């Protein structure tokens, strides 16, 4: 695996591959890699001739009170993991390389789909995400870019950006990889102390309870969210940013789950904010 820190070096590496007709797969990450990230890398390696992984803790997607400074960083460990997953190139630029002095061009989506849920609780988050994704797409010019369903709203907005801005990149969404007790893998899980880690399994347990209730005939979104809330609160003190049952294409709230929907939540346990989601399919009558 080759490692790059500058845009020009990465472009020089990729140009002959592109000229030879090789397909390029791209996996953007913020590092502190785990099996969730690696599942995307393996998928890119399987689908494409060249797999590029970026490791960049993107400052513009963090709010002023968020965890940018303490976000876990382990470039050496991450490089080993990328290489073992078969990646051909690792791109880890410094913030100045991506945001040079005077940077002032932003990608924003100004509708309810972008402003709800994470957009409501982290008002500048998606502007940072979409801007860095567009920059990386322009730098790497991938045929396909791989995102996790773990960040459901992010994958949706990035796919919309690619479509609306006529980018030639296919946005592929991959399943959520979970720990044995159901907790969705996340770089932020390492902030959890043992008690908080145990409590954090309540997120996926709550979502699974909603899925089971739906399978048993409960279609009221209010009743399903109440079940999830009860599971979260039973596990210990937490601060719930949102629990929502939404249309999977628009994220508009759903009242009755009579077609596919997605249950999404964001919860703070101690000082750690966690998100998770689960697709819901009502039973056929």
- Catalytic residue flag (residue 22): no
Region near ligand AMP per CB under 6 A, out of 79-87, 108-116, 180-188, 192-200: 180-188
Between 133 and 214, CB nearer to ligand AMP? 133
Contact 176/148 with Cβ under 8 angstroms?
Answer: yes
Q: Which of 53, 117, 156, 184 is close enough to bind ligand AMP by CB under 6 A?
A: 184
Kindly state whether residue 264 participates in binding ligand AMP, applying the rule CB under 6 A: no
Contact 178/185 with Cβ under 8 angstroms?
Answer: yes
Region near ligand AMP per CB under 6 A, out of 72-80, 103-111, 181-189, 241-249: 181-189
Residues 139-178 that bind ligand AMP (CB under 6 A): 147-148, 150-151, 174, 176-177
CA distances from 28 to 18, 49, 128, 208, 211 (A): 19, 17, 13, 29, 30
End-to-end CA distance of the chain, in Å?
Answer: 52
Shortest distance in whole angstroms from residue 54 CB to ligand AMP: 9
Residue 230, token pair as written in the block: 């009860």
Residue 257, token pair as written in the block: 């789950």
Q: Rounded to an integer, what distance in angstroms lies between the CA atom of residue 77 and that of residue 92? A: 13
Between 36 and 119, CB nearer to ligand AMP? 36
Q: Report the residue closest to ligand AMP, judged by CB.
A: 148
Residues 33-72 that bind ligand AMP (CB under 6 A): 36-37, 39-40
Contacts of 197 (CB under 8 A, 6+ apart): 183, 189
Between 145 and 221, CB nearer to ligand AMP? 145
Catalytic annotation, pick one of 37, 88, 121, 125:
37
Size of the site for ligand AMP (CB under 6 A): 17
Shortest distance in whole angstroms from residue 268 CB to ligand AMP: 17
Q: Rounded to an integer, what distance in angstroms lies between the CA atom of residue 109 and that of residue 166? A: 15
Q: Long-range CB contacts (< 8 A, 24+ apart) of 221-227?
A: 221/245, 221/253, 221/254, 221/255, 221/256, 221/257, 221/261, 222/255, 224/257, 224/263, 224/280, 225/263
Contact 1/87 with Cβ under 8 angstroms?
Answer: yes
Region near ligand AMP per CB under 6 A, out of 75-83, 109-117, 135-143, 184-192: 184-192
- Positions marked active-site: 37
Positions touching ligand AMP (CB under 6 A) are 29-30, 36-37, 39-40, 147-148, 150-151, 174, 176-177, 184-187
């Amino acid at each position: 695996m080759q490692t790059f820190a500058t845009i020009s070096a990465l472009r020089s590496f990729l140009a002959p591959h592109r000229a030879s007709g090789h397909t390029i797969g791209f996996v953007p990450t913020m590092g502190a890699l785990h099996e969730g990230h690696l599942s995307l890398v393996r998928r890119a390696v399987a689908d494409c001739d060249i797999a590029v992984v970026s490791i960049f803790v993107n400052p513009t997607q963090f709010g002023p009170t968020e965890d940018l400074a303490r976000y876990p960083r382990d470039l050496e460990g991450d490089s080993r993991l990328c290489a073992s997953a078969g990646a051909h190139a690792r791109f880890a630029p410094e913030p100045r390389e991506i945001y040079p002095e005077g940077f002032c061009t932003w990608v924003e989506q100004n509708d309810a789909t972008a402003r709800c849920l994470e957009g409501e609780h982290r008002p500048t988050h998606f502007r940072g995400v979409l801007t860095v994704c567009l920059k990386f797409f322009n730098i790497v010019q991938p045929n396909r870019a791989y995102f996790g369903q773990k960040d459901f709203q992010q994958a949706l907005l990035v796919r919309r950006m690619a479509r609306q801005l006529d980018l030639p990149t296919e946005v592929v969404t991959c399943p959520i990889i979970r720990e044995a007790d159901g907790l969705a893998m996340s770089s932020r899980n390492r902030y959890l102390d043992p008690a908080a880690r145990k409590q954090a399994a309540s997120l996926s347990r709550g979502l699974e309870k909603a899925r089971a209730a739906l399978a048993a005939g409960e279609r009221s979104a209010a009743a399903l969210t109440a079940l999830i809330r009860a599971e979260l609160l039973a596990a210990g003190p937490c601060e719930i940013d949102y629990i929502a049952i939404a249309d999977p294409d628009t994220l508009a709230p759903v009242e009755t789950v009579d077609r596919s929907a997605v249950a999404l939540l964001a919860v703070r346990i101690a000082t750690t904010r966690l998100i998770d989601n689960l697709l819901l399919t009502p039973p056929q009558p």
